[in-house]
Amino acid sequence: MRSALLIVAAAGQMQIQSMSGAQMRILHAAMDEDSDGRVTIAEGAKLVRRLRTALMLRQSAPIMQTMDTDRDGYLSAEEFRADLEHMDVKGKRTIEDSFDGFDTDRDGRLAAEEALPLFTFLLPFQKLDTDLDGRLTLSEFQEVAAERLASDERVNATEHYSYHSGIWAGIAALRELLGLADSDADGQVSADELAECRFHAKFGGSAAYHHSRDWIKVLEEAVAGLQQQQQAKAKEDRRGGQKEEL
Ligand SMILES: [Ca+2]
Ligand SMILES: [Ca+2]
Ligand SMILES: [Ca+2]
Ligand SMILES: [Ca+2]
């Protein structure tokens, strides 16, 4: 009869095998910004931030489109104010006054990335998508925004943003991952170390495990998307070339 411990160990092994060494090397290459073969916390944190921001921009695009009434790709103070007008909330002035605080480059309007902290300040996206179809409707937006605007005037927008965008959680998982992987304890992680990390007793089921699996998935999707684009372009070029020959 197999002991419970063996079964648990086998389950852990299956989890580890769901990620290949090659996939860990893809993750390593994506993090190794200066391509010196070693990944530092600072390098990894940049990737975590980038992936997270890209995801948040995708999620907030429907809100941006709704609020950007003149469709110039920016949110102006007027557009923001007009949208607030439609909501039955307290503390509108506080929110209005906070607009400038988000305008990092001080050009008087918010680009999508500047507007991100504002959106996450107003509403946590995960909770917002009430019918869970991955899209936000205006009514979903106003429902939650109204609640938050009424109750949470004193939230520090930047902290709120980091928290809700999962950047903090991501960086904590990154620290765990690099800590487990750094077997020679030199404060940096080589591709071999990262691939070997899968066999660390504490890796299976950890936050490091779940987050790296997500990062790898996003990276692989991005690579696949790029390859599709290149193939489509190559096909287009071939067609162009054939036409010229005729
Ligand atoms: Ca490096
Ligand atoms: Ca606009
Ligand atoms: Ca701006
Ligand atoms: Ca190391």
pLDDT tens string 113-148: 888 877 766 655 445 555 545 445 555 555 555 555
- Based on the domain organization, do 148 and 187 belong to the same domain? no
pLDDT of residue 41: 96
Q: Measured in angstroms, how far is the CA atom of residue 114 from the centroid of ligand 1?
A: 28
139 lies in some domain: yes
183 lies in some domain: yes
- Based on the domain organization, do 117 and 207 belong to the same domain? no
197 lies in some domain: yes
- Based on the domain organization, do 197 and 94 belong to the same domain? no
Nearest ligand for residue 194 CA: 4
In the chain, the percentage of residues whose pLDDT exceeds 70 is 68
Q: Measured in angstroms, how far is the CA atom of residue 53 from the centroid of ligand 4?
A: 28
Nearest ligand for residue 28 CA: 1
- Based on the domain organization, do 54 and 160 belong to the same domain? yes
The residue range of the domain holding 24 is 15-39+168-245
Highest mean predicted confidence (pLDDT) among 8-12, 36-40, 67-71, 231-235 = 36-40
137 to each of 102, 199, 214, how far by Cα in Å? 24, 44, 26
Average pLDDT (20-42) is 96
Nearest ligand for residue 178 CA: 4
Nearest ligand for residue 107 CA: 3
| More confidently predicted of 156 and 229 | 229
- Based on the domain organization, do 79 and 19 belong to the same domain? no
- Based on the domain organization, do 174 and 81 belong to the same domain? no
Domain closes at, from 166, 192, 208: 166
Q: What is the pLDDT of residues 163-198, one digit of tens each?
A: 666 788 899 999 999 999 999 999 999 999 999 999
- Based on the domain organization, do 138 and 128 belong to the same domain? yes
7 lies in some domain: no
CATH number of the domain encompassing residue 182: 1.10.238
5 lies in some domain: no
Domain closes at, from 166, 191, 221: 166
Tell me how many domains the chain contains.
2
10 lies in some domain: no
- Based on the domain organization, do 152 and 82 belong to the same domain? yes
- Based on the domain organization, do 178 and 157 belong to the same domain? no
> Does residue 109 carry a pLDDT above 90?
yes
20 lies in some domain: yes
Q: What is the pLDDT of residues 59-108, one digit of tens each?
A: 788 888 888 999 999 999 999 888 777 665 555 666 667 777 778 888 99
- Based on the domain organization, do 77 and 126 belong to the same domain? yes
> Does residue 38 carry a pLDDT above 80?
yes
Q: Measured in angstroms, how far is the CA atom of residue 38 from the centroid of ligand 1?
A: 4
In the chain, the percentage of residues whose pLDDT exceeds 90 is 41
81 lies in some domain: yes
pTM recorded for the entire structure:
0.67
- Based on the domain organization, do 134 and 74 belong to the same domain? yes
Domain closes at, from 123, 144, 166: 166
Q: Measured in angstroms, how far is the CA atom of residue 79 from the centroid of ligand 4?
A: 50
Q: Measured in angstroms, how far is the CA atom of residue 14 from the centroid of ligand 2?
A: 50
- Based on the domain organization, do 65 and 154 belong to the same domain? yes
